[in-house]
Structure 1
Amino acid sequence: MDEPTTRAARRAATAQRILSAAQAEFGEYGLERATVRGVARRAGVDPSLVLQHYGSKNDLFAVATQLHRGSTDELDASSTPQDVAEHLFDILGVRLNTPPPEARALARSMLTAPEATAAMRNFLGERIQNLARADNRPDAELRAALTVSSILGLTIARHFLELDALTDISEEQIDTILRPWVTAALDGPNPPSTPES
C-alpha cells in the first residue's frame, strides 16, 4: 500500500493507526488496565502523539468504543414475525463471529468503567426499543429486554469466557437449538387476559 504523501493524509493515517491500536488494547485489558503507553507501543508511535491526537485515555476510549448501528435493521409496528425472526437471526450470526474491536473494547470495560456502562446501556436500550416496536403486546419491552440480554450473555460466554459448549457449536446446533432459543421470549404466548368484572 502506498504511504500517504500529504501532511493531512499522514496525520489521518497515524490517527487511524492509534485508534486501531486503542481498540485492541482496550479489548484486551479494558479501560482500567489499558495504558496510553500500551496503545502507543501497539501503534508504533510516541505516547505524546496518542494524547496529541485524542486528548486523554478516556477521550480515546470514547472514540474507540463507538458502536456502529446499522440503518437497515430498524423494525416497526408493520414488521412481521418473520421480519423480526430474520432480524434476530442476522444479529445472532454477527454475535457468533468475533466481535468487532470497538464492541470487544466496550464489553471488556462495561462492568468496571462508568463510561462503558453508560454506552452499553444506551446501545442495548436502543436495541430493546427497536425490537419492542415490532410487538404490540403490553409486555413487549420486557420480552425484547430478555432477548437482547440473552444475546449479550451468549456473546460474553462465547467470546470472553470461551465456554466450550458455545465455542464448539456446530451449524446444525445453530439451526436446531440457537435459532429457536433466540426468538423464544418473543414467540411466547400472549399474556392471559384478565376477566372483566
Structure 2
Amino acid sequence: MSHPTTRAARRAATAQRILEAAQIEFGEHGLEASTVRAIAQRAEVDPSLVIQHYGSKNDLFAIATRLDRESTDDEVAEHLFDVLDVRLGMLPPATRALVRSMLTAPEATAAMKDFLDERVVNLARTTSGDEAELRAALTVSSILGLTIARHFLKLDALQSVSPEQIATTLQPWITAGLGRQDG
C-alpha cells in the first residue's frame, strides 16, 4: 500500500486511522471508559489530532457509531437474515461500541433508538397483516437481544451457533414472527 503524498491525502488517512481506532476503543471499552489519549495511542497520533479532526470524544463517538441507514423495502426482510449472520458472528467495531454504550451514554442511546426505530419502520412497510409495526419491533428487538446475549453476556447456548442452525432455526423463527410463509 502506498503512502499518501499530498497534505490533504495524509490528513484524510490520519482521520481514517483515528476513526478506526475509535471504533475499536469504543467497542472494547464503551464511551465512558474510552479516552482521547487511548484512541490517539491506538491510532499512533498525538491526542491533539483527535480533537483537531473530530472536535470532542462525544462527536467522535457519534461518527464512529454511525450505522448504515440505506435500504429499500425489498431488501429489508432479506437483510434481516444477513443481520443475523453478522450479529451472531464477529460484531463490527461501530456496532460493538454502540451496543456497549447504549445504556450508559445518552448519545449512544439516542443513536441506537433512532437506528432501531428506522429499522422497525422499514420492516413494517414490507410486512403485511395486522400489527405489522409491532411484529417488526419484536423482530428488531429480538435480534438486538441475540446480539447482547451472544457477544456481551456470552450466553452458553449461543456461543456455538453454526450457520446451519441459523438457517434451520433462527431464519424460520424470524420469518414466522413477521407472519411470512416464505423463508
Instruction: Tell whether the structures are fold-level matches, with TM greater than 0.5.
Output: yes
Unmatched 5+ stretches in structure 2:
none
Between Structure 1 and Structure 2, which shows a larger proportion of helix residues?
2
Match of 1:146 among 138, 142, 163: 138
Normalized against structure 1, the TM-score is what?
0.85
Residue 110 of structure 1 aligns with an amino acid whose one-letter code is M
CA distance in structure 2 between the aligned counterparts of 1:4 and 1:90, rounded to whole angstroms: 35
Instruction: Indicate the percent of aligned positions where both proteins have the same amino acid.
Output: 72
CA distance in structure 2 between the aligned counterparts of 1:21 and 1:118, rounded to whole angstroms: 22
Structure 2 counterpart of 1:22: 22
Query: CA offset at residue 159 of structure 1?
Result: 1.7
Query: CA offset at residue 166 of structure 1?
Result: 1.1
CA distance in structure 1 between the aligned counterparts of 2:33 and 2:12, rounded to whole angstroms: 27
CA distance in structure 2 between the aligned counterparts of 1:171 and 1:22, rounded to whole angstroms: 30
Query: CA offset at residue 150 of structure 1?
Result: 0.2
Task: Give runs of ≥4 in structure 1 deviating > 4 Å.
Answer: none
Structure 2 counterpart of 1:41: 41
Query: CA offset at residue 91 of structure 1?
Result: 2.3
Match of 1:181 among 164, 168, 173: 173
Q: Secondary structure at the match of 1:187?
A: coil
Deviates more, 1:168-177 or 1:111-120: 168-177
CA distance in structure 2 between the aligned counterparts of 1:113 and 1:85, rounded to whole angstroms: 30
Structure 2 counterpart of 1:11: 11
Structure 1 counterpart of 2:107: 115
Query: CA offset at residue 85 of structure 1?
Result: 5.1
CA distance in structure 2 between the aligned counterparts of 1:85 and 1:59, rounded to whole angstroms: 32
The answer as to 2:25 corresponding to 1:64 is no
CA contact (8 A) 2:76 2:122 kept: no
Structure 2 counterpart of 1:99: 91
Residue 54 of structure 1 aligns with an amino acid whose one-letter code is Y
CA contact (8 A) 2:84 2:166 kept: no
Trace 1:153-168 onto structure 2 (pairs within 5 A).
Answer: 153-168=145-160
Deviates more, 1:7-16 or 1:155-164: 155-164
| Count, aligned residues | 181
Taking a change above 3 Å as real, the CA distance of residues 28 and 84 of structure 1, as seen in their structure-2 partners, is closer
CA contact (8 A) 2:19 2:60 kept: yes
Unmatched 5+ stretches in structure 1:
189-197
Q: Secondary structure at the match of 2:126?
A: coil
User: How much is the aligned-residue C-alpha RMSD, in angstroms?
Assistant: 1.9
Q: Secondary structure at the match of 2:3?
A: coil
CA distance in structure 1 between the aligned counterparts of 2:156 and 2:177, rounded to whole angstroms: 25
CA contact (8 A) 1:88 1:183 kept: no
CA distance in structure 1 between the aligned counterparts of 2:8 and 2:78, rounded to whole angstroms: 43
Normalized against structure 2, the TM-score is what?
0.91
Deviation readout 1:50-77 (Å, 9 max, x if unpaired): 1111111111111111101343xx22xx
Higher CA-based Rg? 1
The answer as to 2:75 corresponding to 1:89 is no
